Structure 1
C-alpha cells in the first residue's frame, strides 16, 4: 500500500506546473522587476492561476492575483506607460499597476503604453520575450533608398 501511495504522489507532482518568468526594469539587478507566476493547483486540471509579483526594492514588493487560464496557453503582454506604470494584457483582460507606490489601479487608464514584451509558454516553460523595437524612421530610410 505504501508503494502505491509513493507512486501516485510522484505522478501527481510531475503533472503540475509551477514556474515564473521576469522582466527586469532596472537592467537586471533584480531591484525593480515584474515577475509572472504560473501555478497549476491540481494535476487533473488544465487551468493555472496566474499572478504578478511586482518589486521595486526596498519600497515595493507585492503579489497580485490576475486570472486563471489554460496552463499551456499563458500569453500576457507587458506595456510601459512610463513613470513606473505598467499594463498587462491578455486578450480583452487588462491590469494596470504602478511600482512607485506598489499599487494596482482599479481601472486601466489609456492604451497601456509601449509594448515591452510578452510573457508566454515556450515548450513547457514560462518565459519573457522582449519586444523587438525598431527606430522611428527605419522604414522611411529603407524606402527612400
Structure 2
C-alpha cells in the first residue's frame, strides 16, 4: 500500500502551478513580483502573493488571496510616484513602494495609468506590458 502512494505522488503533483513573474520598475532594486501557486491539480484557483521591493529601503510580501486559474489576469497600474494599483475582476489593491505599504482600496477612477498585466500564458506565468507603457 505504501509503495502505491509513493508511485502516485508524482501524478498528484503533476499539473500543479508554482510560478512567478516580475515587473522591473527601476532595475533590479525596484520591482513588483507576483507569485502564483496551485497546490493540487484539481484546485480551480491559485494563491496569489505580491512582493514589493525597493532596495535597500524595503521588501514586503502581500497575500492577495485566491483567484480562478482560468481567469488569472492581474492588471497593474501606476497611480503616482511609487504608488501601484492591481486589479483582478472586481477586486483592487494599492501598494506604495517607498516603504512597501498596502494602501486603502482605491476607487476605480484612482487606479492610475495601465502598466501591464500578469497572466497565465501557454506554459508559464507572464507579464505583458501595456501598449505605450
TM-score (norm 1): 0.84
Residue 47 of structure 2 is matched in structure 1 by 49
Structure 1 contact 72–124 (Cα < 8 Å) conserved? no
TM-score (norm 2): 0.91
Written as runs of structure 1 = structure 2, the 5 A alignment for 1:4-23 is 4-23=4-23
Q: How many residue pairs end up in the alignment?
A: 132
Structure possessing the higher radius of gyration over alpha carbons:
1
Residue 117 of structure 1 is matched in structure 2 by 116
Q: CA RMSD in A?
A: 1.6
Which structure features the higher share of helix residues? 1
**Where does structure 1 differ by over 4 angstroms across 4 or more consecutive aligned residues?**
none
Write out per-residue CA displacement over residues 3-40 of structure 1, whole angstroms, 9 at most, x where no aligned residue.
422221111221211100110001xx311110111101
Structure 1 contact 117–129 (Cα < 8 Å) conserved? yes
Residue 76 of structure 1 is matched in structure 2 by 74
Q: Which runs of 5+ in 1 are unaligned?
A: 135-145
Q: Which runs of 5+ in 2 are unaligned?
A: none
CA distance in 1, matches of 2:46, 2:83: 26
CA distance in 2, matches of 1:56, 1:72: 31
